[in-house]
């Protein structure tokens, strides 16, 4: 077996974690700035802070990658360009990680010369997509966490020579596929695509019956591939093993980096492998699993009957006679340890710093904060600690860091060119999207989700009249079937295809007669992304439905393509490849706030829908006046068991999307 050495890529959300990555022997670190980072709840860095850390990294042979991987709104473009210009001149990163096509355009316009990595949020999920990414100038693709070993190998076999792959080996798992989650945004205007996710999937959900105890139906265990990384040493296209965790502390970073470095460098040494696994178990993560990495032994990384909060269980709260809470620690606590008391959606939740060492079975009092009562039996977790050896290593690196001088502030006056708007000559199109063809004569503008069942029900003469919508996610083991369905459509004269991601263009032959439309799952939100789509040969684009009023109305003024928008119908909260056994399909599921959702399966994916529809009908005239020419209704049959909605949603129209 030919082996190569993939880099160990460590997360850093603050200075201590960055230094811990260097101390542990990481090959590279990814660290976000205060803006345009998909982990905005991490501390993140100023440009001057990160410039010094990146220089220290270079002196120790450690690369620095900067995630600028949020969705870019129309009014973000100039500030994103100025930031990238400053980043390139002061931090000099080895690469940037992007989600939005606009950042590729900005990189080109600002003269950025480093590597460009496509974030997992960009949803490059099937082999044919890689060729399209390479043509865009991307140098690395971060592949989805949902892929199993055989699917990763399929991606590697299709990988063009100009790009490599990066895979997650450890850290948190999201219930929804990255880039296909609108849950946080739909329930409150805080978008995961903007790095603001409030994790509604981690909350308790239950059925309509009082007997149904609320469970964490959508809260995932962590991923830990540990010894299963060994087969990847024979796949040279996978150039990077990524550890998730920019909100974690230096303890976690140090232990995970050390563990995976040992597994990479000594894959056949049983003793070293055992030690590495023990280190990973001490990393203070959530309970972990191999997820579905092994195709012959897939595991659904959900355990609804148990809590899945991160950290090492250190005690259970009790109450003094006077009502004050405390716990007895199951292991020694060190000065500087951080504890989490309970879970975010529990009364009295807080974090607590230990000021002095506490022996095993020692008593720790918990301060009362606010009016929320902390219940007896609440779990207490150790979430970060500072061992003496780690503290000493960090101090040495801090001393070296203090000697590095970088400019305190840098400015940029760079401006980017916006595309000229197209000349609107087409009449307004009122479109509908459904699962199967309508009965009777096919109307202009009928859209149908592409599937074998839909094609079987469509008379051959009508295939050419339909706008065929490809799925939002295509997995490697589905690509062959999708290509066959596309070939059937082409054979029968179809020319209009709405793509679920820009990369799906790789499923089609070069043919000037075909019209490609970027569907709403392409998450288009700004003129520069539209310019990239125009250059890629798209004929029109549907914008992301999660934008706010101001964002929607600003887009047409600089769009080189005709624009469409979803104005009515069921928009999913998220799309997932997994489901808990306890989740009943097509039945109401209630959050603790009495919000309703329900789940339906299509092919390999589970679509989680809200209990009420999107409806922008009252503002359609404003949108038409602003320049939109396509208005789409998404039709889904309503489950009999789910209560008929008494409300609709305008999504973020009346909000300011953070």
Contact 599, 201 (CB under 8 A): no
Contact 605, 571 (CB under 8 A): no
Average pLDDT over residues 64-84: 95
CA 189 – CA 177 distance, rounded (Å): 19
Tens-place pLDDT, residues 382-400: 888 878 889 899 999 999 9
Q: What is the pLDDT of residue 594?
A: 87
Tens-place pLDDT, residues 224-250: 999 999 999 999 999 999 999 988 889
Side-chain half-sphere of 311: how many Cα atoms within 13 Å? 21
For residue 186, pLDDT beyond 50: yes
For residue 369, pLDDT beyond 80: no
Per this entry, what is the length of the chain? 658
Tens-place pLDDT, residues 549-583: 999 999 999 999 999 999 999 999 999 999 999 99
Contact 353, 363 (CB under 8 A): no
Contact 572, 651 (CB under 8 A): no
Residue indicated by tokens 């059925």: 207
Average pLDDT over residues 129-151: 97
Using 50, 70 and 90 to split pLDDT, how confident is the model at 521?
very high
Both tokens assigned to 527:
């003129």
Percent over 70 (pLDDT), the chain: 96
CA 378 – CA 299 distance, rounded (Å): 29
Q: Between the ranges 331-335, 351-355, 473-477, 590-594, where is the mean pLDDT highest?
A: 473-477
What is the radius of gyration, based on Cα positions, of the chain? Answer: 25
CA 511 – CA 522 distance, rounded (Å): 22
Contact 129, 503 (CB under 8 A): yes
- DSSP summary character for residue 452: H
Q: What is the pLDDT of residue 62?
A: 98
Q: What is the pLDDT of residue 308?
A: 67
Neighbours of 85 (CB within 10 A): 22
**Strand, helix or coil for residue 49:** helix
Q: What is the pLDDT of residue 652?
A: 95
CA 359 – CA 328 distance, rounded (Å): 10
For residue 263, with 0-12 CB atoms within 10 Å meaning exposed, 13-18 middle and 19 or more buried, which class applies?
buried
Both tokens assigned to 7:
């880099």
Alpha helices in 194-248 (DSSP H): none
For residue 40, with 0-12 CB atoms within 10 Å meaning exposed, 13-18 middle and 19 or more buried, which class applies?
middle
Both tokens assigned to 86:
């400053």
Helix axes 388-402 and 47-59, enclosed angle (nearest 10): 100
**Strand, helix or coil for residue 26:** coil
- DSSP summary character for residue 215: B
- Of 425, 513, 438, 501, the C-alpha closest to 470 is 501
- Of 238, 244, 233, 225, the C-alpha closest to 152 is 238
- Of 483, 525, 563, 613, the C-alpha closest to 179 is 525
E strand or H helix at 631: strand 630-634
Distances in Å between the alpha carbon of 357 and those of 252, 332, 374, 381, 611? 20, 7, 24, 16, 50
Q: What is the pLDDT of residue 549?
A: 96
Using 50, 70 and 90 to split pLDDT, how confident is the model at 169?
very high
Average pLDDT over residues 440-449: 73
CA 240 – CA 254 distance, rounded (Å): 17
CA 543 – CA 549 distance, rounded (Å): 12
Side-chain half-sphere of 55: how many Cα atoms within 13 Å? 19
Both tokens assigned to 159:
């990988």
Contact 286, 302 (CB under 8 A): no
Using 50, 70 and 90 to split pLDDT, how confident is the model at 211?
low
Residue indicated by tokens 């529990």: 346
Contact 351, 357 (CB under 8 A): no
Phi, psi (5° rounding) for residue 483?
-60, -40
Buried b (16+ CB within 10 A) or exposed e, 206-225: bbeeeeeeebbbbbbbbbbb
Contact 67, 119 (CB under 8 A): yes
Phi, psi (5° rounding) for residue 103?
-70, -30
Using 50, 70 and 90 to split pLDDT, how confident is the model at 40?
low
- Of 461, 459, 436, the C-alpha closest to 447 is 436
Tens-place pLDDT, residues 260-272: 999 999 999 999 9
Using 50, 70 and 90 to split pLDDT, how confident is the model at 38?
low
Contact 269, 34 (CB under 8 A): no
For residue 621, pLDDT beyond 90: yes
Q: What is the pLDDT of residue 1?
A: 44
CA 295 – CA 286 distance, rounded (Å): 23
Domains and CATH numbers, the chain: 7-173+221-295 (3.20.20.70), 312-388 (2.40.30), 429-649 (3.20.20)
Region label for 561, one of left (φ > 0), alpha (ψ between -120 and 50) or beta (otherwise): beta
**Strand, helix or coil for residue 436:** coil
- Of 308, 358, 71, the C-alpha closest to 190 is 71
State the pairing for strand pair 563-569/574-576.
unpaired
- Of 328, 427, 438, 416, the C-alpha closest to 376 is 328
Q: What is the pLDDT of residue 440?
A: 57
Neighbours of 52 (CB within 10 A): 20
E strand or H helix at 23: helix 15-24
Average pLDDT over residues 509-519: 96
Q: What is the pLDDT of residue 386?
A: 75
**Strand, helix or coil for residue 195:** coil
Written as one string, the DSSP assignment of 320-381 is -TTS-EEEE-SS-B-TT-EEEES-TTSTT-EEEE--S-B-TT-EEE----SSPPPPTT-EEE
Average pLDDT over residues 416-425: 86
Average pLDDT over residues 74-91: 94
* pLDDT, the chain, mean: 92
- DSSP summary character for residue 291: T
């Amino acid at each position: 077996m030919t082996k190569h050495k993939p880099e160990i890529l460590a997360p850093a959300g603050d200075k201590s974690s960055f230094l811990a990555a260097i101390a542990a022997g990481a090959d590279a670190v990814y660290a976000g700035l205060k803006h345009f980072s998909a982990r905005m709840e991490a501390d993140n860095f100023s440009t001057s802070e990160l410039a010094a850390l990146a220089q220290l990294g270079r002196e120790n042979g450690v690369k620095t990658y900067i995630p600028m991987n949020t969705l870019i709104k129309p009014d973000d473009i100039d500030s994103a360009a100025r930031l990238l210009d400053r980043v390139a001149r002061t931090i000099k990163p080895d690469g940037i990680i992007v989600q939005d096509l606009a950042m590729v355009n900005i990189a080109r316009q600002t003269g950025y010369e480093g590597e460009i990595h496509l974030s997992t949020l960009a949803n490059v999920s099937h082999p044919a997509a890689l060729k399209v990414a390479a043509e865009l100038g991307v140098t690395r693709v971060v592949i989805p966490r949902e892929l199993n070993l055989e699917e990763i190998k399929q991606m590697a076999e299709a990988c063009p020579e100009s790009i490599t792959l990066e895979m997650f080996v450890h850290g948190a798992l999201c219930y929804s596929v990255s880039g296909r989650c609108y849950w946080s945004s739909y329930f409150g205007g805080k978008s995961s695509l903007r790095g603001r996710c409030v994790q509604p999937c981690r909350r308790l959900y239950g059925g309509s019956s009082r007997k149904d105890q609320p469970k964490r139906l959508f809260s995932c265990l962590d991923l830990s591939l540990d010894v299963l990384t060994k087969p990847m040493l024979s796949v040279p296209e996978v150039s990077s093993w990524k550890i998730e965790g920019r909100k974690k502390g230096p303890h976690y970073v140090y232990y995970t980096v050390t563990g995976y470095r040992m597994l990479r460098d000594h894959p056949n040494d049983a003793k070293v492998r055992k030690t590495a696994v023990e280190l990973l178990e001490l990393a203070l993560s959530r309970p972990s699993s191999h997820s579905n990495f092994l195709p012959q032994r897939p595991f659904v990384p959900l355990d609804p009957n148990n809590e899945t909060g991160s950290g090492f269980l250190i005690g259970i709260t009790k109450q003094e006679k006077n009502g004050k809470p405390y716990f007895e620690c199951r292991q020694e606590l060190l000065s500087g340890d951080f504890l989490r008391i309970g879970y975010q959606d529990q009364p009295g939740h807080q974090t607590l710093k230990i000021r002095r060492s506490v022996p095993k079975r020692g008593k720790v009092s918990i301060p009362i904060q606010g009016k929320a009562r902390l219940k007896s039996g609440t779990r207490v977790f150790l979430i970060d600690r500072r061992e003496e050896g780690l503290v000493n290593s960090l101090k040495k690196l801090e001393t070296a860091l203090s000697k590095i001088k970088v400019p305190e502030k840098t400015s940029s006056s760079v401006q980017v060119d916006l595309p000229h708007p197209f000349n609107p000559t087409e009449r307004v199109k009122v479109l509908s999207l459904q699962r199967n063809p309508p009965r009777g004569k096919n109307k202009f503008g009928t859209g149908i989700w592409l599937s074998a069942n839909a094609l079987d029900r469509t008379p051959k003469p009508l295939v050419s009249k339909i706008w065929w919508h490809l799925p939002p996610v295509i997995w490697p083991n589905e690509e062959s079937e999708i290509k066959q369905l596309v070939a059937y459509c082409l054979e029968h004269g179809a020319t209009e295809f709405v793509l679920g991601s820009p990369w799906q263009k790789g499923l089609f032959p070069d043919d000037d007669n075909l019209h490609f439309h970027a569907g709403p799952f392409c998450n288009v939100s700004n003129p520069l992304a539209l310019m990239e789509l125009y250059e890629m040969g798209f004929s029109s684009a549907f914008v992301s439905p999660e934008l706010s009023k101001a964002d929607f109305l600003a887009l047409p003024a600089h769009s080189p393509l005709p624009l469409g928008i979803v104005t009515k119908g069921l928009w999913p909260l998220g799309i997932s490849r997994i489901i808990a056994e306890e989740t009943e399909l097509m039945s109401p599921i209630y959050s603790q706030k009495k919000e309703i959702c329900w789940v339906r399966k299509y092919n390999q994916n589970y679509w989680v829908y809200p209990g009420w529809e999107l409806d922008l009908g009252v503002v359609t005239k404003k949108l038409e006046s602003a320049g939109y020419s396509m208005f789409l209704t998404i039709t889904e049959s309503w489950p009999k068991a789910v209560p008929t909605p008494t409300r609709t949603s305008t999504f973020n129209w009346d909000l300011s999307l953070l």
